[in-house]
Structure 1
Amino acid sequence: MVLLYALIVVVLINCGYFFLFSKFSFFTFPEITSEKNYPVSLIVCAKNEAENLQKHIPLWLNQNHPDYELILIDDASIDDTLEVMESFQNEYPQIQIVKVKNNEAFWANKKYALTLGLKRAKNQRLLFTDADCKPASNEWLSTMTAEFSEEKQLILGYGAYQKGRGLLNRLIRFETLMTALQYFSYAKAKIPYMGVGRNLAYTAKLYYDNKGFMSHIKVPSGDDDLFVNEAATPNNTAICVSEKAFTYSIPKTTWNEWWRQKKRHITTAKLYKPLHKFLLVLYYLSTISFWVLAVLTLIFSSWKLALPIVIFRFLIEYIVVGKAANKLGEKDLIPFIPFFELFLVCYQMSIFISNSRTKQSRWK
């Protein structure tokens, strides 16, 4: 019976998190339109991204907003990135180019490049994306920045991945879905802890009040999540989940590429605030404990008592995560939620173990 009692405790913890996630899943977000179209600086940092820039600069320039500048940061690229930027600048005066050269103190450091780009921005409201990100519509810029107000200085958006064939594509999108479900839900619960640089906005005042990236300038990753973790408060953060304001990136196409990407991303979590680390670790441990205890209890304890508990937990998960998947345009993932969840916790454990043995020092 000890296994059964342990399973009950873990399922209750799981359901506590699903209740937290329901704050996002079941909330109806009103469509916000700004009465004033305030000037905006759209900032994109690119390193060896000539091909993506050729495709996406026209989309960024086609945004339905009357007053914005596009700041393109060439982070010491060795391909034709700078040439592509300059070819567009010759035709569009709202483009500003920042050329970054590597130096010994900040070698291959994206935060250093972003800092130089931010200094060039002339507007108070800043919107960030990556060179490989395609806006969902020409209303992206206006919709994201409409969330700004005197109180709301930090806006969290959804950076999705394009749908494709194969298991890897679905796993990447599921991991992205679950990450977004968590940071949106925590923000709704007044404990914001992260955002993604593929779709993130904040004010210059917030940036300078928090001394930019100085507290973690030497950490390879975290220009997005570590800044949000440090600067976000219960009252200054808003979320934008309008489909018009999504961005779409092309996901990694090989397991090795995804492995390296996730290894780099996960290194920042240990620098989060203590409360956030506790909640994230408890969620991970309770999830993996559920799978272990579910198997052990069904085999070695009273399966007739354990089975309804396991089914109940899966049902709650399907309802909450499924609702979020539908809201974020990921409906095709819903039938595979349990399988993807099990794979993801095992995959993350492998990355944690691997990261404890190696050190990451560059962003690309």
Structure 2
Amino acid sequence: MIVFYVLFYIFVVVILVQLFFYAYVFSKVKQKSHSNISTDRPFISVIVCAKNEANNLEKFLPSILNQDYPDFEVVLINDSSTDGTLRVMERFKAMHSNIKIVNVKNIEAFWGNKKYALTLGIKAATHNHLLFTDADCKPVSNQWIAEMSRCFSKDHRIVLGYGAYAKVKKSFINKLIRFDTLMTAVQYFSYSRLGQPFMGVGRNLAYTKELFFEARGFMDHMHIKSGDDDLFVNQIATAENTVICLSKNSFTESPSKKSYSDWIIQKRRHITTAKHYKLRHKAMLTLFYLSQFLFLTLSIALISTLFYWEVVVGLISLRYIVLFITLTLAAKKLEEKDLIPLFPILEIFLIVSQFSIFIKNLISKPNRWK
């Protein structure tokens, strides 16, 4: 019987931790954007790094080239592709004078390293303000560059944007991927608002070329093949130099993985970089994910034994009420409203998936980049 008392009190602590995150930390996404938006329209270099992305460039590059912005160039980086990527780039360049191509060939020291290719592209960029996206991404509006660039200021030299995944009707895996993306965004937006920015996503990220070279580029983690976006932001972002952009016109959208197994492989690659975050960031992320796992397992254990079941059910209900309030506001802000009715189910699947990924990553290391 004493075991059940111990589990019950651990459960109470876990609920308090969860309420702290959902009621306080994650509530920051619902707040209005910063009021000190710049009216300047700086010259922008949009950077797209592509490896074997011929088809995606054909499909998505026009949405970048058709942006309603007076002064921007598009730097296309061909990272040692073996398909028709370079030919597609050259064809677009023949039609658009604001395209610059950087053709990267593998060298032994940086074989298959996306950071090396990105570094060459950044060096080739004409302008100081850099805006990054992926070859399979498209801005949701022709105001993407305008909205992201407005967030730059004398102090704000990093802009964190939202990179959504396209909705697929009647697809549970698509909803799970989008829920995971929503939860990730809620975290990095909220922590940035709290003065603790810790990551960004390369699908929609901006920073200055000047800041990149002040930080010695990717040199501090060049040996780690992943993390050209989140590790770099984790390294250089501060409360003073980072701002978030929540304007709906600033979002980008990418096609999501179609199968659960493909998504798990992608997710494993992304998660491996987290162990290289700063200690305080690893601690806060670990605390949240551990509390998620303990909430699920202890809820099942205590309800199945009916130990103090009235209190347990009450605490679970309180936790879900707070979760629904916070995530509903965030989902509306980030245009993910269709996920709201499925929050409890999606959360359970996500917790189980994350635990599975954790075990798999302990056994073997995933690969990175194409």
Q: Does the pair score TM above 0.5? A: yes
- 1:329 matched to 2:335? The reply is yes
> Map of 1:168-317 to 2, 5 A cutoff?
168-300=173-305, 301-317=307-323
1:265 Cα shift?
0.6
1:24 Cα shift?
2.2
The runs of at least 4 consecutive aligned structure 1 residues that moved more than 4 Å come to 30-33
When the two chains are superposed, the root-mean-square deviation of aligned CA atoms in Å is: 1.3
CA distance in 2, matches of 1:233, 1:309: 36
- 1:106 matched to 2:110? The reply is yes
1:359 Cα shift?
2.5
1:74 maps to a residue whose letter is: N
SS at the partner of 2:206? strand
- 1:78 matched to 2:78? The reply is no
1:180 maps to a residue whose letter is: A
2:369 maps to a residue whose letter is: W
CA distance in 1, matches of 2:311, 2:259: 42
1:65 Cα shift?
1.0
CA contact (8 A) 2:131 2:207 kept: yes
CA contact (8 A) 2:69 2:146 kept: yes
Deviations along 1:288-309, whole A, 9 cap, x unmatched?
Answer: 1111111222232111121111
CA contact (8 A) 1:187 1:239 kept: yes
CA distance in 2, matches of 1:199, 1:280: 22
CA contact (8 A) 2:30 2:333 kept: no
1:89 maps to a residue whose letter is: K
CA distance in 1, matches of 2:27, 2:12: 23
1:361 Cα shift?
4.4
**Residue aligning to 2:58:** 54
Deviations along 1:153-196, whole A, 9 cap, x unmatched?
Answer: 00000000000031110000000000000000000000000000
- 1:35 matched to 2:43? The reply is no
User: Which of 164, 170, 194 is the equivalent residue of 2:168?
Assistant: 164
CA distance in 2, matches of 1:26, 1:72: 35
Q: Which moved more, 1:132-141 or 1:255-264?
A: 255-264
CA distance in 1, matches of 2:39, 2:264: 44
CA contact (8 A) 1:140 1:246 kept: yes
Deviations along 1:282-341, whole A, 9 cap, x unmatched?
Answer: 000011111111122223211112111110011101111111111111111111111111
CA contact (8 A) 2:143 2:249 kept: yes
| Percentage of matched positions with identical amino acids | 49
CA contact (8 A) 2:265 2:366 kept: no
1:29 Cα shift?
2.1
Listed as ranges, the gaps of 5+ residues in structure 2 are: none
**Residue aligning to 1:363:** 369
2:89 maps to a residue whose letter is: M
**TM-score (ref. length: structure 2):** 0.96
Classify 1:271/1:356 alpha carbon distance in 2 versus 1 (closer, same or farther; 3 Å): same
> Map of 1:92-171 to 2, 5 A cutoff?
92-165=96-169, 166-171=171-176
Classify 1:199/1:32 alpha carbon distance in 2 versus 1 (closer, same or farther; 3 Å): farther
CA distance in 2, matches of 1:328, 1:21: 17
SS at the partner of 1:43? strand
1:28 Cα shift?
1.8
**TM-score (ref. length: structure 1):** 0.97
2:216 maps to a residue whose letter is: K
Q: Which moved more, 1:295-304 or 1:77-86?
A: 295-304
CA contact (8 A) 1:220 1:360 kept: no
Classify 1:285/1:335 alpha carbon distance in 2 versus 1 (closer, same or farther; 3 Å): same
Classify 1:134/1:31 alpha carbon distance in 2 versus 1 (closer, same or farther; 3 Å): farther
Q: Which moved more, 1:68-77 or 1:331-340?
A: 331-340
User: Which of 58, 70, 73 is the equivalent residue of 1:69?
Assistant: 73
**Residue aligning to 1:349:** 355
CA contact (8 A) 2:28 2:193 kept: yes
1:256 Cα shift?
2.1
1:114 maps to a residue whose letter is: L
1:325 maps to a residue whose letter is: A
